Amino acid sequence: MIFRRTLFVSLAAVAFLGAQQPAPQPPAPQPAQSDKTFSTDVKVVNVFASVRDKKGQIAKDLTQDDFTIEEDGRPQTIKYFASESDLPLTLGLLIDTSGSMRRLIETERLASGKFLDKVLREDKDVAFIIHFDFEIELLQDVTSSRKLLYAALDQLSEGANPQMQRRDPNNPYPNGGGSNGGGGYGRPRGGGGGTALYDSILLASNEVMKKQTGRKAIILLTDGEDNGSKTTLTDAISAAQRADTLVYAIRFTDEAAYQNPLASFGGRGMGRRGGGGRPPMQSHEDGKKVLERITKETGGGYFEGGKKQTLDDIYRQIQEELRSQYSLGYAPDKDTGPGYRTVRVLAKNKNLVVQSRDGYYAEK
């Protein structure tokens, strides 16, 4: 039986962000806590970085001497360096199943299965799968089983599309107890509608990624539109940063769905359950800017899907990047109390571009 439960965010759930628990303290010489440390008790900050040349090719065989690091504009001394980290990877696929994306889901499903097959190392890496529209549902919890992950993706296939099988609005907990299968977390949206992109990032980060160690990455398959979240874009990004999670975004748009909104819902319209109109949709440009901001601030990457670049091509690039990262660690030269610290990793070779997180949180 497929493990399946519904994720739940209430207005009070956004308060998670004010109650983050500090990450466990790793041994000083090991980059065991992914790419950020969020407690001033821990003296080493670890940063994962990917490097490409101006042609977009991965730069390999770099050494510690090829990099510099700054914190809040102050140069830092690199204490630890490793290339092509072999640390375990936790990967989350967050798939937009809202009406504007429905006709693209089959393409996403097939390519995602191929990607998981290539990127996950048996008995070392794990993954989970979430779909989101006006609700957020964990189709498969963290597992190393390809069989379970493929089965979860199969739930997105035509005829089993969650968007086409909306729940009873009067029964947001279909299996009782606030979740599918008991325990865990659920997320009823009552009479609401729209696409809960920001909520999905927050929940994946707080409820799944924070519990994992090693390298962590979320891959978003979406058009970047959000018109149903209770949380904000800023809080969603903050949750990913606090969970040490890179976010990669693959943006797809179905122009026909925007030109004829009724068609994307099988002619049923785009109204809310329980009546009322749908919140105004963001523009295409807004969706692009949203995803670019998420990926820049979390250290992931932004990709445009479409005729010029297939989803298979994009997945190959992400796979190569995840397998060719550099891990750098430093001890901050100052303890300035709690707050956000900006971090900038640079390559001494000006022809190389470094992709890494913008900063980290010192909690106290």
Per-residue pLDDT tens over the stretch 164-202: 444 443 333 333 323 333 333 444 433 345 789 999 999
Provide the 10 A C-beta neighbour count for residue 168: 8
Output the pLDDT for position 217. 96
- Does pLDDT of 163 surpass 50? no
pLDDT of 290 > 90? The answer is: yes
**Between the ranges 35-44, 220-229, 248-257, 306-315, where is the mean pLDDT highest?**
220-229
Confidence (pLDDT) at 158:
57
115: closest CA among 292, 243, 305, 297?
305
Per-residue b or e along 290-300, where b marks 16 or more CB atoms closer than 10 Å to that residue's CB? bbebbbbbbbb
CA dihedral 168, 158, 144, 114 (to 10 degrees): -160
Q: What is the CB-side half-sphere exposure of residue 275 using CA atoms within 13 A?
A: 0
**Structure-token pair, residue 338:** 């709690």
Residue 269's pLDDT band, with cuts at 50, 70 and 90, is very low
First and final CA of the chain: distance in angstroms?
A: 44
Of 256 and 344, the structure prediction assigns the larger pLDDT to: 344
Residue 72 pLDDT > 90: yes
Q: Over the chain, what is the mean pLDDT?
A: 76
Q: Measuring CA to CA, how many Å separate 328 from each of 24, 64, 66, 77, 307?
A: 18, 8, 11, 10, 37
The pLDDT > 70 percentage for the chain reads 68
pTM assigned to the model: 0.75
From 41, 26, 45, 82, select the one nearest 357 (Cα to Cα).
45
For residue 255, what are the contacts with CB-CB under 8 A and spacing of at least 6?
none
- Domain chopping of the chain, boundaries: 5-12+87-322
Q: 3-class secondary structure for the chain?
A: CCCCEECCCCHHHHHHHHCCCCCCCCCCCCCCCCCCCCCCCCCCEEEEEEEEECCCCECCCCCHHHEEEEECCEEECEEEEEECCCCCEEEEEEEECCHHHHHHHHHHHHHHHHHHHHHCCCCCCEEEEEEECCCEEEEEEEECCHHHHHHHHHCCCCCCCHHHCCCCCCCCCCCCCCCCCCCCCCCCCCCCCCCCHHHHHHHHHHHHHHHCCCEEEEEEEECCCCCCCCCCHHHHHHHHHHCCCEEEEEECCCHHHHHCHHHHHCCCCCCCCCCCCCCCCCCHHHHHHHHHHHHHHHCCCEEECCCCCCHHHHHHHHHHHHCCCEEEEECCCCCCCCEEEEEEEEECCCCEEEECCCEEEECC
Q: In this predicted model, what pLDDT tens digit does every residue of 212-264 receive, in sequence order?
A: 988 999 999 999 999 899 999 999 999 999 999 999 999 987 655 444 544 44
Check pLDDT > 50 for residue 104.
Answer: yes
From residue 17, alpha-carbon distances to 13, 122, 131, 235, 362 in Å are 8, 33, 22, 7, 14
Q: What is the mean pLDDT of residues 44-57?
A: 91
* The pair of three-digit structure tokens given for residue 14, joined into one six-digit string: 């956004």
Q: Which of 235-249, 260-274, 285-299 has the lowest mean pLDDT?
A: 260-274
Q: Which residue has the higher pLDDT, 4 or 85?
A: 85
**What CATH superfamily classification does 5-12+87-322 receive?**
von Willebrand factor, type A domain (3.40.50.410)
Residue 22 scores a pLDDT above 60: no
Tokens 């959000």, residue located? 226
Q: Torsion angle, CA of 344/348/353/358, rounded to 10 degrees? A: 0
